[in-house]
A and B are shown apart, each in its own frame.
Chain A
Amino acid sequence: MTTQQAMITIFMVALGTIITRFLPFILFPAGRPTPKYIDYLGKLLAPAVFGLLVVYCLKNVSFLQGSRGVPELIGVAATAGLHLWKRKMLLSVAGGTAVYMLLVQLVF
């Protein structure tokens, strides 16, 4: 990707983000009720998108070649385990990443 293409990509990401933040204020001026379908999506879209993002992060992991996704599985398990144990976001993220880095640098 050229620098120009990269800047266009960043611009599109910024634009998309700005749209999601401004749209409610444009569509629903203060005081008017919001459509039920929007309320419904508001509650239910977020968890599904989080699931999509987890899959997105692991999209290039091959379970048939190389390390067969073993460091990724251990890294995810360490992150989730730490989070279930202490429930501190930064600790879980830092700990899980450290485990994964040690695995790919020293073991696999």
Chain B
Amino acid sequence: MSLSVRKKALLAAFPHTIPVMTGYLFLGMTYGVFMRASGFPAWYPMVTSLSVFAGAMEFVTVSLLMGPFNPVQALAMALMVNARHLFYGLAMLKKYAGAGVKKLYLIFGLTDETFSVNCAADAPEGVDKHLFMFFITLLDHFYWFAGASLGGLFGSLISFSTEGIDFVMTAMFVVIFLENWLKEKNHMSSLIGLGLSALCLIVFGADGFIIPAMLAILGMLTLMRKYLERGGDAA
């Protein structure tokens, strides 16, 4: 593949990533600062932003790292928090088909934002569509890594107090929850998630409620399947 083919695809991809760039640089920096403020060295956010590349889950990882060592819970948490990716994958089965080796990286980098861009944007005429989506994914990955690294490296130079910056994670999930709430027609699943989690938190306590809550949610959604499918178009 010639250099100009690559350059053309990169130039075509870049404009589509500008909104993601703003968001990833800002959130990535906050993430790096947050990790430093939580007592971790600068290379931690670099490692997680490169290897995990799932924004929300990386914030959760900070609290996992501050709790007792529990690799099974870490795996279960990643599976549940990122379960939505299963459905991004289902939606991209056809679009990513035939991408060759690049497909492995396209799937690895399938974040919420990359999914929405790659889902919506079509490569212009004469540009290889798989290479185009590859560069969108790569640029997004780079923005996130750059933001997290900058935050991690220079976070300690910030002269004002960062006490309370951990709230950024709460705020982010409140916004994600609310945004979804505003879009969905049936709130049953949102309410099940909030209600059963709160109940499990009271019953099992802060350190052990996650897995019971996940099982309770899966069980309740399965039990209510007939009702919710009839009740129609949730989400």
Measured in the bound complex, the distance between the Cα atoms of B19 and A89 in whole Å is 12
Does chain A have a CB within 8 A of B116? Answer: no
Does chain A have a CB within 8 A of B5? Answer: no
- For B23, B177, B235, the residue with the greatest tally of chain A CB atoms inside 10 Å of its CB is B177
In contact, B78 and A17 (Cβ under 8 angstroms): yes
Task: Among B75, B110, B198, B213, point to the contact of A21 (Cβ < 8 A).
Answer: B110
In contact, A13 and B78 (Cβ under 8 angstroms): yes
In contact, B79 and A20 (Cβ under 8 angstroms): yes
CB contacts (< 8 Å) of A12 on chain B: these are 71-72, 74-75, 78
Measured in the bound complex, the distance between the Cα atoms of B171 and A71 in whole Å is 13
Measured in the bound complex, the distance between the Cα atoms of B95 and A30 in whole Å is 9
In contact, B78 and A20 (Cβ under 8 angstroms): yes
**A49-B83 contact, Cβ under 8 Å, with A79-B174, A96-B171:** yes
Measured in the bound complex, the distance between the Cα atoms of B123 and A78 in whole Å is 40
B:141-162 near A, CB below 8 Å: 161-162
How many pairs of A and B residues are in contact by the CB < 8 Å rule?
A: 276
**A42-B164 contact, Cβ under 8 Å, with A8-B71, A50-B193:** no
Measured in the bound complex, the distance between the Cα atoms of B170 and A53 in whole Å is 8
A23 → B minimal CB distance (Å): 6
**A17-B54 contact, Cβ under 8 Å, with A49-B83, A96-B174:** yes
Does chain A have a CB within 8 A of B192? Answer: yes
In contact, A79 and B171 (Cβ under 8 angstroms): yes
In contact, A47 and B167 (Cβ under 8 angstroms): no
Measured in the bound complex, the distance between the Cα atoms of B30 and A52 in whole Å is 22
Q: Which residues of B line the A interface, CB within 8 A?
A: 22-23, 26-27, 30, 44, 47-48, 51-54, 56-58, 60-61, 64-66, 68-72, 74-90, 93-94, 96-97, 103, 107-108, 110, 161-165, 167-182, 184, 187, 189-198, 201, 206, 209-210, 213-214, 217-218, 221, 225, 228-229, 234-235
Q: Which residues of A line the B interface, CB within 8 A?
A: 1, 5-25, 28-31, 34, 37-60, 71-72, 75-76, 79-80, 83-84, 87, 89-90, 92-94, 96-97, 100-101, 103-105
Q: Using A1-B65, A9-B61, A54-B170 as known contacts, list a sample of 16 further A-B pairs with CB atoms less than 8 Å apart, ordered by residue number in A.
A: A1-B66, A15-B75, A22-B107, A29-B93, A42-B87, A43-B234, A49-B83, A52-B194, A55-B201, A76-B171, A80-B178, A93-B168, A96-B167, A100-B170, A101-B163, A105-B161
